[in-house]
Structure formats: C-alpha cells, structure tokens
Structure 1
C-alpha cells in the first residue's frame, strides 16, 4: 500500500523523505485530506496542528490500535518519533542521541510513557543546517513502515490507495483532487465535493485554521 510499509530499513526511509519544507507541506496536505474525508476527528489517521506550541507545529498519525508517530516542526528543524506496539519499546536507549535542540520532546507527555519510559521504537531528526535526515546509531527500526506515506514517491497515488481502503470507498477517489490538496492549492467547493460530496467547504473552516492550510 505505502511504498516502504513492508521494509524495516530505516536508511531507506531517511533517503526517501523530503527535505524540511516539503515534508511540512506534505503533512499539512495529508491532514487536510483527512479533514475532508473524515469530518469526525476521531476517524482520522493523520492530523496537523499549526498552533501546537510557541513556534512549534506538530504532525501526527494514530491508527487506533496502539501505533502512532509524531513529527514536531520548529525553528530548530524537525524531530520525529514513532511507536509500533508490536515491536520492543526502545525508549530512553533509543532517544539518548537526540540532539539538544530536540531534547525537550523526549519527555513530552503527549508522546506517551510506560512506567516512566518514553514510548519509542524509531526516531529521526533533521536540524536546519543538516544536509540529510539523521537517526541514532544502530537504531531499532520498529515502526519504520508507519511513515511510508510521508516518503512515497507518488504521494497522491499512495494516499488514494490507502484512503480508498481505509474509508472503504467503493467508487474511488479523484486523483486530481488529491493532488490539488497535497500541493496546498486553495480549496474550492468543487475540489471538496470531488473528494467527499457530504462535506461543505464552509464546514472545514476550523480545520483549515488548525492545519494552517492556505485560505486563498
């Protein structure tokens, strides 16, 4: 379904991930698609909070079965942490090499703990001056596949395949409309209707504000 969903190779993931600005845009676009297809926030896999903290934005994924990931974007760069409930929790051992610019996120309550140990089976980061994404040396790889959509070579097609299965859409999704949203082009009633005729553009005002999606 997602390009790398079945490989444990963290290096492959990091090599495929877009640079910081492009990854942020992709996360916002995916979150907007989720808002259109899943009006009930609890039904959504992916979300984006452009007002998560002072100068910080957070993209997240929760599958409702115990797996999740979070990516925090800040002036320092981006920090990502994933948790696969079927993999051994690496916790503090995995996070020991996280740079000082992102250390405050290790104990972030929103990212979860178990008996005082942070929940993490994979993590990576990219500071503003880095030429590539980085990860701890000899890092555990549980949960790498959870980030597959962010690293997809064709994100519009990858999202279409995933969403049609997840939302059980027998009639399929409009690929052009998906690409429109992922490109962060201003939403129109026609685009929204092409994706979900039961949602009106006006209903999305709160989500547009939260995601920081361009209003036009």
Structure 2
C-alpha cells in the first residue's frame, strides 16, 4: 500500500484544539482571498467543511466528545455508490466510539438512510492519537480521499499559499496568511494584504458564525 490514506493522515493530524483553529483559519483565508464569491472551505457552528463542487468533500465536526472527520471522494474505489446496497467499505467505522455513532445517521452524511463516506477519522478528548477503523484494509493502489485533508497538517501556511496559487491563480502575502493561521486578530491591514478588493466589514458575519 502506497500513497496517502486515512491511517497515514491520522498519524499526522494535530490535536483537536489545534485542528479546530486550523479549520477556522483556512475558512477565513479562503473567504478573503476568494472574495466571498464561493467558499471552498467553510467553518460555522462548530462544523468545518470542504466542498470542491466536483463531488469531493470533507467535514470536521466538533461534538462534545471530541472530533469526527468524514471524507467522500467520488472517484474512490471505496465509494458506497459502487455497492448496490450503499454499504460502507468493510472496517471503515470499526471501533467508532458510541459517542460518535449518531453522526453516521446525520442528514449531511447519508443517502437513503446509508452513511456515505470513503474515509473516517476520529479522536476523543483524552485520546493520545487519531483513529481509523480498527479492521480497515485499503486495497493496493486505491484512494480514499484523505489526501484532501493535507491542508490541515503541519505547514498550513505554505499549504494555503500553494492552494491559493493553484485554485485562484493568485500569489498571496505569506506573512498575512501566517498571521491568520497563528490566530492573531484579522485587521483591515491583514485583509488588504490578502485581497485589496475585499471589504473587511464583510468578515463580521463569518467571524460570528465560527
């Protein structure tokens, strides 16, 4: 087995509090740099989401118990849509704590009452690491979509700069990106450095939602 998969991503994800901070920072940066026209990354009500508008998505949920991540890659060999009964890939949620089980039935994650995902990760407060299905086996050469989570790993500043260059075709001020990633106040000066055409006042609703 080579490449990126959920167990490899799980070994590199930061603790819950740091992950939440990164999710919020990326959403703010995306909203500013993209001008708020359409946000690929969002963070609201304790939910972080990525939607590439091409059938690929992930969500990071922060319930009371900890954090739960659901990924769906529409091209994955592990997609439930390849099964007539929409069954999840064997072992995908094996060992998932009871505290997270209700999320498997959430409307955002289901179709016809079936949980739709190609990768699942979780961590409870007090855990010393992130988890994936205990009996999960990923076929050689298969993708599970967890590479979409790489922007949440260490090096978020440079990862976002690279994303902005590829996705928006723009070179953004690295120092301004780092300022937001580090959780410092997002001033009008920082906003102008990221996108001179963006109105800083438009951030009020975004900040309130997160």
Superimposed CA distance per residue, residues 129-159 of structure 1 (whole angstroms, 9 cap, x where no aligned partner) = 21100110243461110111111x3110111
Instruction: State the aligned residue count.
Output: 195
Q: TM-score, normalised by structure 2?
A: 0.87
| Structure 2 counterparts to residues 1-216 of structure 1, below 5 A | 7-40=3-36, 43-49=38-44, 51=45, 57-87=46-76, 88-90=78-80, 91-92=87-88, 93=90, 94-113=92-111, 115-139=112-136, 140=138, 142-151=144-153, 153-169=154-170, 172-211=171-210
Partner SS, residue 98 of structure 1: coil
Per the TM alignment, residue 16 of structure 1 is displaced from its structure 2 partner at its CA by 1.0
Which aligned runs of 4 or more in structure 1 are off by greater than 6 angstroms? none
Superimposed CA distance per residue, residues 37-81 of structure 1 (whole angstroms, 9 cap, x where no aligned partner) = 22335x2211111x2xxxxx1111111110101111122000111
8 Å contact kept, 1:95–1:106: no
Gap regions ≥5 residues in structure 1: 1-5, 52-56, 212-216
Gap regions ≥5 residues in structure 2: 81-86
CA RMSD of aligned residues (A): 1.7
8 Å contact kept, 1:70–1:111: no
Superimposed CA distance per residue, residues 167-189 of structure 1 (whole angstroms, 9 cap, x where no aligned partner) = 111xx110000001111111111
Per the TM alignment, residue 96 of structure 1 is displaced from its structure 2 partner at its CA by 4.6
Q: TM-score, normalised by structure 1?
A: 0.84
